[in-house]
Amino acid sequence: MSKIKNLWNNRRSIVWIFVELVIISVLTWIIADPVAVAISDASLPTGYDNDRLVIAEIAHLDPDAPGFDPARDSLDVNSADVETVLMKLRNYPGVESVTIDKGFGLPGNTANTLDSPRCGNEAVDTVVGMVSVFYYHRGTDYFQTLGIKSSEGSPSVEELSETDASAPDKVIITRELGELYWPGENAVGKKFVRSSRDGEERFTTVAGVVEGIRHQLPYRSYCAIFYCGDHIFDDEPQRTFKAVIRLADSDRIEEKCEELYAWGSKELVTGNFYLRTIETYDDFLEDTSKSLGIPNQLMLRYILAGFFLVNLVLGVVGTFWLQTRKRIAEMGIRRAFGAGRGSIVGMMLGENIILASIACVTGFLLYWQYAMRNGLEEGYVNNGAFNVVDNWIIHFGQHFIIVSAIVYLLIILCVIVGTLIPAMSVSRVDIVDTLRSKE
């Protein structure tokens, strides 16, 4: 109570500090919100296990390239060569499983597409929205290799990897999408309505449900549909493709990539196919992210936040430092009449924390008015894709409280540093000297 009274008595000299703190709390909110959301988004699970994954890019000789064998370019021989490459990789020591990606199959791939299936409960349209689309290939251990788990009530991933979802119109969906369309029900056996290429609408049955995966980092969507990519193997000879390899363990993964490349450069030459590159899945995700410009955007956010933080620290610490040093004579008087060093430090710290707290609450309420009209930071959400992650970011109240708490702690930390050091110094100054400083 005495601290509040002291603040009130000092109101003329601290009003500008109060105003400064209100402005700082609002600005810190503006800067901290996107950073907090970006960090939270980055910490969301991917839904697949990329720790032990490497990607081998298998290229195909051009018809005019030296060594091209026209005899092996027929559809049958070409397909057999693809199978041979995959078999060689599966037999390589330390490889657990291998799957193939001929495009649109890998989470994190920039090329993945969006679809807008409608929920057709016996031809009744209930939801329209965008979901991510992935293509897999039957018999290639797709779900096991990527580490995607099947959901409760769904066939196992081993069974799902064998599911030919192209005929008769079956798909595999993520649990989140199932819950969105059929809340509280097992989605297996339910039907979608999809528009086919010829413009006709037809039903598609859910053959299985797997746990959600993120379409692309850092997007938050977990809604996806997996189609069996029938058209790739059967239409024409395969050219470049990716072999996704799950290693038995993640130790020395970079070295293993080099060893695999050294071996594969010779041993994987099959027909017109050869090994072009090998990289870890993490590198692949990083490259994808770079191509979208995500790291630059994040870096810009972090740099801005860092720059602001440095200024915040210097500004607030400096202000409170000066304000505390200004009271040296008063502290001398108080010490003469019995105040110990601890009570001097405690008094100044308490007063400044109360002042900063009142200013922060005022600033937060001001920002609240703005946020009510303009919303809070949403993070990276796919345009039109379902955002089904039920976390603090999408709940206005929770979001506001969490970011406010972060901002408050930051500012209070600065106030404590800006007060504690000079207050301790002031409390140690000789009483006679402090009294003289007033004369």
Partner 1 sequence: METVIKLSDISKVYTTKTIETQALEGINLEVNKGEFLSIMGPSGCGKSTLLNIIGLLDRATSGDIRLFGKELSGLRDREMARFRNENLGFVFQSFHLIPTLNVIDNVMVPLTYRKGAGDRRKLAREALEKVGLSHRTTHFPAQLSGGQAQRVAIARAIVGNPSIILADEPTGNLDSKMSEEVMQLLHGLNNEGKTIIMVTHNEAQARDTDRVIHLFDGHLVL
Report if residue 330 touches partner 1, rule: CB under 8 A: yes
Work out how close the CB of 335 gets to partner 1 at its nearest, in angstroms, rounded to a whole number.
Answer: 7
Work out how close the CB of 431 gets to partner 1 at its nearest, in angstroms, rounded to a whole number.
Answer: 5
Report if residue 290 touches partner 1, rule: CB under 8 A: no
* Residue 245 β-bridge partners: 54, 98
127 class by beta-carbon count within 10 Å (0-12 exposed, 13-18 middle, 19+ buried): middle
Work out how close the CB of 320 gets to partner 1 at its nearest, in angstroms, rounded to a whole number.
Answer: 17
Work out how close the CB of 427 gets to partner 1 at its nearest, in angstroms, rounded to a whole number.
Answer: 9
Work out how close the CB of 412 gets to partner 1 at its nearest, in angstroms, rounded to a whole number.
Answer: 24
- Report residue 343 CA to chain centroid gap: 47
Of the candidate spans 49-57, 152-160, 294-302, 429-437, the one that interacts with partner 1 by CB under 8 A turns out to be 429-437
> Using CA atoms, how far apart are residues 380 and 39, in angstroms rounded to an integer?
11
Report if residue 333 touches partner 1, rule: CB under 8 A: yes
Q: Which two tokens stand for residue 122?
A: 């016996």
Report if residue 2 touches partner 1, rule: CB under 8 A: yes
Of the candidate spans 93-101, 104-112, 325-333, 364-372, the one that interacts with partner 1 by CB under 8 A turns out to be 325-333
Work out how close the CB of 346 gets to partner 1 at its nearest, in angstroms, rounded to a whole number.
Answer: 11
Question: In the complex with partner 1, which residue's Cβ is closer, 228 or 423?
Answer: 423
Work out how close the CB of 2 gets to partner 1 at its nearest, in angstroms, rounded to a whole number.
Answer: 7
Report if residue 79 touches partner 1, rule: CB under 8 A: no
Report if residue 6 touches partner 1, rule: CB under 8 A: yes
Of the candidate spans 9-17, 22-30, 276-284, 365-373, the one that interacts with partner 1 by CB under 8 A turns out to be 9-17
Report if residue 431 touches partner 1, rule: CB under 8 A: yes
Residue 289 · residue 295 · CB < 8 Å: yes
Question: In the complex with partner 1, which residue's Cβ is closer, 333 or 405?
Answer: 333
Strands (E), 230-328: 241-247, 273-280
Report if residue 76 touches partner 1, rule: CB under 8 A: no
Question: In the complex with partner 1, which residue's Cβ is closer, 406 or 429?
Answer: 429
- Give how far Cα 199 sits from Cα of 193, 203, 353, Å: 12, 13, 66
Interface with partner 1 in residues 336-375 (CB under 8 A):
336-343
Question: In the complex with partner 1, which residue's Cβ is closer, 191 or 334?
Answer: 334
Interface with partner 1 in residues 11-70 (CB under 8 A):
13
> Using CA atoms, how far apart are residues 140 and 97, in angstroms rounded to an integer?
9
> Using CA atoms, how far apart are residues 70 and 74, in angstroms rounded to an integer?
8
Residue 350 · residue 3 · CB < 8 Å: yes
Residue 105 · residue 215 · CB < 8 Å: no
Residue 14 · residue 7 · CB < 8 Å: yes
Work out how close the CB of 397 gets to partner 1 at its nearest, in angstroms, rounded to a whole number.
Answer: 40
- Quick count: other Cβ atoms within 10 Å of Cβ 93? 7
Report if residue 432 touches partner 1, rule: CB under 8 A: yes
In degrees and rounded to multiples of 5, residue 53 shows phi and psi of -100, 140
Place of tokens 């020395």: 252
Report if residue 424 touches partner 1, rule: CB under 8 A: no
Work out how close the CB of 415 gets to partner 1 at its nearest, in angstroms, rounded to a whole number.
Answer: 20
Work out how close the CB of 421 gets to partner 1 at its nearest, in angstroms, rounded to a whole number.
Answer: 19
Report if residue 439 touches partner 1, rule: CB under 8 A: yes
> Using CA atoms, how far apart are residues 432 and 77, in angstroms rounded to an integer?
99
Residue 99 · residue 141 · CB < 8 Å: yes
For residues 291-307, b (16+ Cβ closer than 10 Å) or e, as one string? ebebeeebeebbeebee
Report if residue 168 touches partner 1, rule: CB under 8 A: no
Report if residue 158 touches partner 1, rule: CB under 8 A: no
Q: Which two tokens stand for residue 247?
A: 């290693």
Binds partner 1 by CB under 8 A, chosen from 69, 164, 201, 430:
430
DSSP assignment string, 356-371? HHHHHHHHHHHHHHHH
The dihedral formed by the CA atoms of 384, 389, 391 and 394, expressed in degrees to the nearest 10 = 10
Count the residues of the shown chain that bind partner 1, applying the rule CB under 8 A. 26
Residue 254 · residue 283 · CB < 8 Å: no
Q: Which two tokens stand for residue 155?
A: 């066939």
Interface with partner 1 in residues 112-141 (CB under 8 A):
none
Report if residue 5 touches partner 1, rule: CB under 8 A: yes
In degrees and rounded to multiples of 5, residue 378 shows phi and psi of -100, -15
Work out how close the CB of 357 gets to partner 1 at its nearest, in angstroms, rounded to a whole number.
Answer: 20
Question: In the complex with partner 1, which residue's Cβ is closer, 249 or 430?
Answer: 430
Binding stretches for partner 1 (CB under 8 A): 2, 5-6, 9-10, 13, 329-330, 332-343, 430-432, 435, 438-439
